[in-house]
């Protein structure tokens, strides 16, 4: 049966080698690569924590910011800030050497930057959402036909890999993106 041959082939996110994934969320080919990924993640978390700490130290309710505070709060580089100043794309005033103060509202409104600590919150609450409009979905029958597997196997995989579905009338729909990802080779 087709389902016996069914395997998810993935590229390891660390070393790039192809491997057979045990679950839909497997990302790494080996224990070594998972450990490397774990270390990398920890390092990123640490950097992130440092940035948040720096951002938290910037005084609130201050309409104009020093260059150092602006880079900490908005995670924007000094070069970019000086470019904005040079090109007069941002309101600022200059109190003397190394005493430039730039307008916080301009950074937020004109350049749509979000303070680092706020962006962090958004990122955390970001839940994976699926578009389940019929045009973004296959019906189970379409999946079976397209990938040459039995309907019941499709249902099995949908349950096993927690793929979201939606029923409209007699048809069950599943997102094309997830299904293509599942059966791609
Ligand atoms: Zn690997």
What is the CA(42)–ligand 1 centre distance, in A? 18
Ligand 1 center–CA 105 separation, angstroms: 45
Same domain as 87, residue 116: yes
Residue 98 lies in a domain: yes
C-beta of residue 73 within 8 angstroms of C-beta of residue 120: no
On whether both 155 and 184 belong to a single domain, the answer is yes
Name 58's Cβ contacts closer than 8 Å, sequence gap at least 6: 65, 69, 72, 73
Q: Are 5 and 185 in contact (CB under 8 A)?
A: no
178: exposed, middle or buried (C-beta count within 10 Å: 0-12, 13-18, 19+)?
A: buried
Q: Look at residue 1 and tell me if it is in a domain.
A: no
Buried b (16+ CB within 10 A) or exposed e, 2-12: eeeeeebebeb
Report how far ligand 1's centroid is from the alpha carbon of 11 (Å): 8
Distance 25 CA to ligand 1 centre (A): 14
- How many domains, the chain? 3
Within-domain flag for 2: no
pLDDT confidence tier of residue 126, bands split at 50, 70 and 90: low
Is 3 a member of any domain?
no
CA 164 / ligand 1 centre spacing (Å): 29
pLDDT bin (cut points 50, 70, 90) of residue 123 is low
Domain contains 89: yes
Mean pLDDT for the stretch of residues 128-157: 88
Whether residue 67 is found in the same domain as residue 83: yes
Q: What is the pLDDT of residue 115?
A: 81
Residue 180: pLDDT over 80: yes
CA of 41 to the centre of ligand 1 (A): 15
Q: What is the mean pLDDT of residues 92-114?
A: 87
Greater confidence (93 vs 169) lies with 93
In a domain, 33, yes or no: yes
Spacing, Cα 144 to ligand 1 middle (Å): 31
Residues of the domain holding 22: 9-49
Q: Of 166, 141, 164, 167, whose CA–CA distance to 154 is shortest?
A: 141
Q: Is residue 43 domain-shared with residue 85, that is, in the same domain?
A: no
The yes-or-no verdict on residue 2 having pLDDT over 50 is no
pLDDT of residue 4: 41
The residues, any chain, with a CB within 8 Å of residue 65's CB and separated by 6 or more, are 58, 73, 101, 102, 104, 107
CA of 182 to the centre of ligand 1 (A): 20
Instruction: State which of 107, 125, 143 marks the end of a domain.
Output: 125
Q: What is the pLDDT of residues 25-80, one digit of tens each?
A: 788 999 999 999 999 999 999 988 888 888 888 988 889 999 999 999 887 889 99
Q: Distance between the two ends of the chain, CA-based, in angstroms?
A: 18
C-alpha distances in angstroms, 173 versus 83, 162, 165, 182, 185? 50, 13, 5, 15, 22
| CATH number of the domain bearing residue 182 | 1.10.10.10
136 shares a domain with 120: no
Strand, helix or coil for residue 11: strand
Angle, nearest 10°, between helix axes 151-160 and 140-147? 110
Say if residue 101 is in the same domain as residue 117. Answer: yes
Asked if 89 and 143 sit in the same domain, the reply is no
The residues pairing with 100 across neighbouring beta strands, listed in sequence order, are: 94
pLDDT of the residue at 185: 60
Residues 34 and 72 in one domain: no
H or E segment to which residue 40 belongs: helix 31-57
Residue 157 has pLDDT above 60, yes or no: yes
Q: Mean pLDDT for the chain?
A: 85
- The verdict on residue 69 lying in a domain is yes
Are both 150 and 134 inside the same structural domain?
yes
Q: Is 146 a residue whose pLDDT tops 90?
A: yes
């Amino acid at each position: 049966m087709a389902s016996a041959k069914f395997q998810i082939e993935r590229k390891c996110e660390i070393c790039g080698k192809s491997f057979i994934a045990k679950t839909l969320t497997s990302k790494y080919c080996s224990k070594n690569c998972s450990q490397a990924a774990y270390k990398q993640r920890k390092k990123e978390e640490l950097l992130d924590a440092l940035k948040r700490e720096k951002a938290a130290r910037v005084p609130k309710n201050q309409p104009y910011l020093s260059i150092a505070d602006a880079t900490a709060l908005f995670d924007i580089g000094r070069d970019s800030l000086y470019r904005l100043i040079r090109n007069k794309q941002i309101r600022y005033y200059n109190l003397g050497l190394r005493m430039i103060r730039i307008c916080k509202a301009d950074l937020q409104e004109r350049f749509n930057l979000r303070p680092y600590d706020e962006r962090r919150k958004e990122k955390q609450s970001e839940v994976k959402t699926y578009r389940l409009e019929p045009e973004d979905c296959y019906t189970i029958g379409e999946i079976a036909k397209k990938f040459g597997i039995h309907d019941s196997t499709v249902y099995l995989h949908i349950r096993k890999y927690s793929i979201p579905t939606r029923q409209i009338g007699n048809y069950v729909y599943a997102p094309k993106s997830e299904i293509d990802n599942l059966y791609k080779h």
